[in-house]
Structure 1
Amino acid sequence: MKKTNIFKGIVATSMLVLFSGSCDSYTEDVITELSTNREFSPTTVKAIVRNQTSVELSWDVKETIDHYVVEVSADDPNFTTILKTLEVTGKELPVTLALEGETLYSIRVKAISGVGLQESKWSVITATTLSEQLFLPIQNTDIASKQATLRWTAGSNVTKIVVTPGEITHVITDEEKAAGVAIVTGLSPETNYQADLFNGNKRRGATTFSTGVDIGDGILIENAEELKAALETITSGAKLFLMPGDYQMLNNDGSLKTEIALSGTITISSVPGKERPVLHCKISANAGTNNISLLNLVLDGSGIENASVITVSSSTAANFGDFLISGCSVHDYTRSILGATAAGNSTIASFTVENSEVTNVNTNNGAEFINVRNAYITSLVLKNSTFNKCSNSRDFIRMDAVAAITGKTSNVLIDSCTFNLPDILVTNRFMYVRFANNICAVRNTLFSNTLAFYSSNQTGTTVPTFSNNNYFNSPTFQDSTLASNKVDAAGTSLNPGFTNASAGDFTISNQTLIDNRVGDPRWIK
């Protein structure tokens, strides 16, 4: 018992000493700074890839830091070989590094004290650059049927161009390197190609193009009289190649011939590799028409009354093929780019507008821009194109249900386009698709200055699949208070910073939209 009491006394005394010590510690000053002889490593370090191959660096700045040291290594996380070293002050942030494409870069940053402390330890981050793009935009006259003129930033370190399919290799000469231009031969007509630009084994650019049709298979047209004569005698499968010039055909009485009536399959194209001819006409596709291809033309509807670019006409149900407008400038048509209001419940395999600029089309408030009321379109595609000041006070896409056609699905794809539609009203729908079964998708597309919405008060239009779209000054697209509106909740509303929208120059300057590749690629530079 005595031992037990002694032990209890020792414990009690020890606890008293501990509590006394703890109370005394509260009388000391509160620590407001961590005493150290070294600067802290930079925090919140960010590395953002800009313009494919540049990396923008930023981090939190401290007033006590004189400057920062940045070191960069390529495909080397251990920094065995330092590719680039630079000194940066806080006021110079963010700083952008010009690097090469398709490379994993390790980047480290340390702080150099301005108050006599030791330099900090490194903060490390990585960034993977995207494919470099030294190729310049392809011009209208660059692509022929069997060769392509390709251009890149003059004086760049490049050694060869490889074109696929076919693995056609063009070794770049010193003269071509300095000029930034080379002609690749040995291509096949009407073929989709990809060209890759290399410096040794390092890819420095990539572009795609399609060669023109072989003029050897077609009819060369040099003036309006020859065009009129050819249209009167051609048979299905004809290919007309128009030399540069202004094509205004005349009727026998001397009046302006403004309509071309077609049947069968026909291609009307510029001569590949030459300037686009200007064609003043509207086109009627009658029963028996299969495919119509309008390639690399200027289609001018000025002065033609109530003119749609293409009108589908049939008194009974007929099967039409593929309608294609590619590489064209289309302007000043008062009605639709495609009209099918008297088509007799016909079927159209596809309607595609690609790599084109469309301006002032559907301006007299008489129809929708795409106006399909008693026909069925299997596939509608608008891709890599710009639509400016189109569809005055009317819906943009209208595809009505056709009771006589069942068990089919209409597919609508809008990809990488720029829409500037200031004349569409708040009551107008951009996508008014009422065909019983429809699948719609809108991606990589830039809308500006419009009050249009996707499809309010129309439950027949399915909710489109949205991806990577921007709506500048176009709030109704994202207005969830409108009944049945198909809202793109993930879309952004950034100002694209157009170079000169009033003059039709929609080159964007907003870095986020450039990085995300939003809009018609011709305006992303």
Structure 2
Amino acid sequence: MKKNLTKIASSFLPVVLLGVLAISCKEETDHVEPMRMFTPAGAMKSTSGETKVKLTWNPSLYTTATSGVTYTVEVAADSMFQTPVIVSVQTDTAGVVFTEDQLEVKKLYYARIKANALDTRPESKWVTSNRFSIRGEQIFAPLVNKEIRDKTVVLRWRPTTGLTKIVVTPANGAPVEYEISAEEIEASAKTITGLAATTSYKADIFAGTKHKGTVSFTTKEPSVFTETVATAAELEAAIARAASGDVIGLEPGTYDHSANNLVISEKHLTLQSVSGDPANTTVLFKEITLKGNGAGVKLSGIGFDGTAASAAYFLNLAGLGSDGEAANFTSILVENCTVNFTANCFMRANRGSSNGTHKIESIVVKNTVGSNNGTGSYHYFHLDKLEFKKLEIENSTFYNSGRAFIGWATNMTAPAKPVISINQTTINNFGFSGRNNILLDANANAVEFTMQNSIVANTPKEGTVGTSLLRASTDGSSILVVKNNNFFKLLDGATPAVELTFPSYVQLSSNTTIDLGWTGSTTNFNLPSGSEVRTGSTTSGALGDPRWW
């Protein structure tokens, strides 16, 4: 019997010990549970604004708004809080706001939070946030290309009081401070001088110690002119004697060439305003003619006006001995220009005696405004029979233009399909004479066409047009992409009016039809604040020519 009791006791002892151990663990768990349950729940969230940042968290478990629980929030520059605490606050809500008066704008911070002791419950453990910052205001306006020079830049901002300075910092260089005068505050603009050419800079604007905006830019290459001119006669003589590759600078003023064409024969020249501003450098033109092999032109920073001459064309491509004679042109670049009034078209390039007799590498138009074309029987870009590799139109505006926009409607065999692109461009009020395919008419030719981030509105200019916007090869050889644009009031002019459409073989995506209220006579295309067109581009930015943002 004693032996049996010994066996029972030895068997029962582990069970007893396990029970004691379980009780001990239960008591220890009960001891730490209030602190764990009192800790703020979940991750801390941050919402960054221009002048403040809001931190929020889930309240401690088993508390309510009337429980009396409070929290301590501390902010430091590192997640381990080994650097000094910058600010410490207490709050009785599950959130706190820090302003630019408490934290530096654009600097990264970390916060930690704990629930303070309440009644019999001790304070909780710390919970640390992910990094956060105050985003900072952005009062700077987008930079205007023509206002970025080799040694200067014009910085503009939305009207703001109390501004004191702009700090300009070159890449790998020391910052330089520029005071903002009362006159500059009134004008909401300041010209920064003393910059270095082809250098990247960052500019920060302040009101006292408060940061109000940042903008980055790169200065242009030095404008090295072969010679500069100041009169119409000097300009004509300079073009005549120039060698291919020369850069002719036009001093501010008006150059009257309304009585005769400006002819560039068998050489590529640059005509560029010294100021970089088309508003103060005007050429009254009859026509700019490119003649013969090697002819080409770059036009930069000039205002062209064909009104006085009733100019038929802005640019006209011709052979040397006769209009139809074979010619291999170089390239055309029109940048930062205005072209007002042409009777027929912006560019005529169909004079070759046969398909492909005239050839050119590229045609580029950017940061340019073309306006007020007559009712001549030409597309605004009239390229029939021309063999070309690229037509690029970007950051530009065209209004009250031709019977149609781009025409390459003579069927021809080209060595490679040309690339045509329209990006960030505003087009308003065009189309007449019953023309069809008024945006692009490539007939049965193969093209690679992309139109994006643009706004097209108001057809026809007068009379009627066909109901198709585009024509190109239908055998699969063309690549036709139309995406992230806004089209509105594109009608055929008939009664009842029919809306213009793209053919089924065009790839369409993310296009809208928001009516911006423009009419055929609109000349100011500023985008309304809060409109969807301000976020509709491929980069979630605004549509159309950036000058109207």
TM-score, normalised via structure 1 length? 0.66
Letter in 2 for 1:521: P
Q: CA deviation at 1:327?
A: 0.7
Return the alpha-carbon distance in structure 1 between the equivalents of residues 525 and 52 of structure 2.
23
Letter in 2 for 1:181: K
Within the candidate set 235, 244, 250, 1:236 is matched to 244
Q: Does 1:519 align with 2:544?
A: yes
Map 1:101-500 onto structure 2 (within 5 A): 133-136=138-141, 138=143, 142-153=147-158, 155-156=162-163, 159-163=166-170, 169-173=175-179, 175=181, 179=185, 180-188=189-197, 191=198, 195-197=202-204, 204-206=213-215, 208=217, 211=220, 214-215=223-224, 217-249=225-257, 256-273=259-276, 275-281=279-285, 282-304=287-309, 307-314=312-319, 315-343=324-352, 345-361=357-373, 363-391=374-402, 394-400=403-409, 403=412, 405-406=414-415, 408-424=416-432, 427-434=436-443, 436-450=445-459, 453-456=468-471, 459=474, 462-474=478-490, 486=506, 488=508, 490-497=510-517
Return the alpha-carbon distance in structure 2 between the equivalents of residues 430 and 420 of structure 1.
11
CA contact (8 A) 2:447 2:478 kept: yes
SS in structure 2 of the partner of residue 491 of structure 1 = coil
Return the alpha-carbon distance in structure 1 between the equivalents of residues 196 and 521 of structure 2.
40
Letter in 2 for 1:335: N
Q: Does 1:507 align with 2:526?
A: yes
Return the alpha-carbon distance in structure 2 between the equivalents of residues 226 and 373 of structure 1.
35
SS in structure 1 of the partner of residue 377 of structure 2 = coil
Q: CA deviation at 1:157?
A: 7.0
SS in structure 1 of the partner of residue 521 of structure 2 = helix
Return the alpha-carbon distance in structure 1 between the equivalents of residues 425 and 108 of structure 2.
30
Letter in 2 for 1:302: T
Rg larger for: 2
Change in 2 beyond 3 A, CA 1:128/1:386: farther
Structure 2 unaligned spans of 5+: 1-46, 54-73, 78-92, 100-104, 112-131, 461-466, 493-497, 536-540
CA contact (8 A) 2:246 2:269 kept: yes
Q: CA deviation at 1:374?
A: 1.7
Write the deviation string for residues 368-402 of structure 1: whole angstroms up to 9, x where unpaired: 111111222211111111110101xx231112466
Aligned residues: 412
Return the alpha-carbon distance in structure 1 between the equivalents of residues 153 and 410 of structure 2.
44
SS in structure 1 of the partner of residue 237 of structure 2 = helix
Return the alpha-carbon distance in structure 2 between the equivalents of residues 507 and 261 of structure 1.
37
Change in 2 beyond 3 A, CA 1:79/1:338: farther
Q: CA deviation at 1:319?
A: 2.9
Return the alpha-carbon distance in structure 2 between the equivalents of residues 310 and 276 of structure 1.
22
Q: CA deviation at 1:421?
A: 1.9
Letter in 2 for 1:502: S
Return the alpha-carbon distance in structure 1 between the equivalents of residues 378 and 243 of structure 2.
32
Return the alpha-carbon distance in structure 2 between the equivalents of residues 192 and 354 of structure 1.
22
Name the counterpart of 2:98: 83
Q: Percent identity?
A: 20
Return the alpha-carbon distance in structure 1 between the equivalents of residues 94 and 154 of structure 2.
41
Q: CA deviation at 1:306?
A: 6.0
Write the deviation string for residues 197-239 of structure 1: whole angstroms up to 9, x where unpaired: 3669978233546636524x32111111211222222221221
TM-score, normalised via structure 2 length? 0.63
Letter in 1 for 2:244: S
Return the alpha-carbon distance in structure 1 between the equivalents of residues 136 and 449 of structure 2.
30
Return the alpha-carbon distance in structure 1 between the equivalents of residues 178 and 430 of structure 2.
47
Write the deviation string for residues 55-92 of structure 1: whole angstroms up to 9, x where unpaired: 9xxxxxxxxxxxxxxxxx9999x9764136xxxxxxxx
Return the alpha-carbon distance in structure 2 between the equivalents of residues 229 and 342 of structure 1.
27
Q: CA deviation at 1:492?
A: 0.6
SS in structure 2 of the partner of residue 172 of structure 1 = strand
Letter in 2 for 1:367: Y
CA contact (8 A) 1:158 1:177 kept: no
Change in 2 beyond 3 A, CA 1:303/1:175: closer
CA contact (8 A) 1:339 1:370 kept: yes
CA contact (8 A) 2:444 2:473 kept: no
